[in-house]
Structure 1
């Protein structure tokens, strides 16, 4: 059973008071009453009538229905509506009697993809991740309740130079058993200060992206450790994300060659210093 909102009911009855027009009243919560109906000023211009006179006409239409305790016209045609206690209690009873609290399923057949906090492997999450996680989860829950098909995606950062850097550091310092985040900080400082280590790290990135078994083994270990940490945080927050919702940057690696070939064929990319680079000003052929 779908229980329409008071705003929907009032909007329909206000619109019915002007059947010859295309009036679409906007009814919303008000700080001056329970609800406020707007839009009369525009309607008054169309009908060439006084907006306060139109508001009085609306009052005459609404009072007999038992929903409204009081209506007051304010400003250039705003109608402030106070609902009756019986109407409010009756609506609460209707919603409590419904297993879905009287909410319909307007999102049925609609697919929505939501991107979550996308934290980085080997790094701690921070307050910026909290905002997108909670907002994303709230939207996902609402759309799911409304019947929608919600695809949760958590695009974690798990690919690129920084992971070649960390893998190279772990290979050269196997006795370092500090937390992964601390090893990342140490590796990053070394990458910035030691050009030779930076070169070895870049070669490690190439090896990782090329499928080198040792590099992949070390990388998978880092990802697993970080996923356990992410999962613990998400469980504490009570959000619905799972490992199945993770879509790391690494998932796009098999597609890179095809994309690079297409960009070069279109003239968007060209070879520069042994690498294919994209020019933002290039005109596709």
Structure 2
């Protein structure tokens, strides 16, 4: 739960620039939250020693900090009779913040609204960990992932059509994830699923057969021309029942692997591949194609 709209006047801030525990100096990314949770547990033991309370710690979405402890509201009704000095959830939150053990991981804490404790990680500590990672490698601070190999299927543009911004988005996101995994020493299989055996492809092939009977001119078309031909083929498919029947038969023959239709399919795919590779080269993206 976050309190992004709370006024600054409801906040208090406490610096935590104290020596870092030995275990924290060795912690990896996934153990930062666990370490903070242990700090919160110690604080809760001091604030509510008579109660068994699990730490409620989440990544903050409020903009006030990096993590947020949300125990105060649920804890207040349980301790308000015994802890007369804690008259409201905000006071409970302040007590939790005040009793957090010193740690160089924590730069400061602040309490907002009904006791939300926002925790800011130390910039110096983060900078040191990043420096360690760059010098000593990702193993010094990488998450311990449960996998050694991942398969990423991304980009996957449409054959016989120009790439659009949606394909670029998928390409960049996929390549970014691949680079992150590879940096963490995980084997990445970069898959680009292309190709189409469906009615639309049979429609285009049949249209090209009828427009270019000898087939040679069709093999020299640019992808922009193929896209234009596709629009013409779709219009003819919708308006001409005879052509529709021939296009449907073309799909059957393509799926059976008949030489003439398979060659046409490969030719169209190659025209598309040539255009796609120009984009991938410019983006410095590597992909392994997978065809039907």
TM-score by shorter chain over 0.5: yes
In the other structure, the counterpart of 1:12 is: 38
Secondary structure class of the residue paired with 1:185: helix
Cα distance in 1 for partners of 2:73, 2:181 equals 33
- Stretches of 4+ aligned residues off by more than 6 angstroms: none
Q: Distance in 1 between matches of 2:268 and 2:77?
A: 66
* 1:35, distance to aligned residue in structure 2 (A): 3.0
- Equivalents in 2 of 1:159, 1:220: separation in Å? 11
1:241 alignment counterpart? 287
2:63 match: secondary structure: coil
Corresponding position of 1:38: 69
Q: Distance in 1 between matches of 2:258 and 2:104?
A: 75
TM-score by length of 2: 0.68
Alignment of 1:1-285 (within 5 A): 3-4=28-29, 9-18=35-44, 20-28=52-60, 31-32=63-64, 34-41=65-72, 43-45=74-76, 47-49=78-80, 50=86, 51-62=89-100, 64-82=102-120, 86-100=124-138, 102-109=140-147, 112-146=150-184, 148=186, 150-174=188-212, 175=217, 178-179=221-222, 180-243=226-289, 246=290, 248=291, 251=292
Residues 78, 98 of structure 1: alpha-carbon distance in 2 compared, 3 angstrom cutoff: farther
Provide closer, same or farther for how the CA distance between residues 111 and 54 of structure 1 changes in structure 2, counting only shifts above 3 A.
farther
Structure 1 CA distance, aligned partners of 2:185 and 2:92? 39
Q: Kindly tell me: are residues 45 and 152 of structure 1, through their superposed partners in 2, closer, same or farther at Cα, counting changes over 3 Å? A: farther
Deviation at 1:84, TM superposition (A): 5.5
Give the TM-score taking structure 1 as reference length.
0.70
Quick check: 1:7–1:28 contact (8 Å CA) kept in 2?
no
Rounded to whole Å, the distance in 2 between the matches of 1:128 and 1:88 is 35
1:166-213, CA deviations, whole angstroms, 9 ceiling, x for partnerless residues?
222222232565433333333333333333222222222221122211
Q: RMSD of the TM alignment (CA)?
A: 3.2
| Residue deviations 1:145-172 (CA, integer Å, cap 9, x gap) | 4455544443324211222222222222
Alpha-carbon distance in structure 1 between the residues aligned to 2:131 and 2:232:
61
Shift of 1:68: 4.3
**What's the offset of the Cα at 1:44?**
0.9
- SS of 1:162's equivalent? helix
**Equivalent position of 2:12 in the other structure:** none
Task: List per-residue Cα deviations over 1:36-88 (Å, max 9, x = no partner).
Answer: 42322355157434543443343334363345454322111112345556545
From the superposition, tell whether residues 117 and 58 of structure 1 become closer, same or farther in structure 2 (CA, over 3 Å): same
Query: Residues 76 and 92 of structure 2 are in contact (CA less than 8 Å); yes or no, is this contact kept in structure 1?
Result: no
Contact between 2:90 and 2:111, CA under 8 Å: does it hold in 1?
yes
How far did 1:129 drift? 1.6
Q: What is the rounded CA distance, in whole Å, between the counterparts of 2:138 and 2:69 in structure 1?
A: 30
Name structure 2 gaps, 5 residues minimum. 1-25, 46-51, 81-85
Q: How far has the Cα of 1:103 moved from its partner?
A: 3.3
Q: Name which of structure 1's ranges 55-64 and 71-80 shifts more when overlaid on structure 2.
A: 55-64
Counterparts in 2 of 1:67 and 1:122: CA distance versus 1, 3 Å: closer
For residues 170 and 67 of structure 1, the distance between their equivalents in structure 2, rounded to whole angstroms, comes to 66
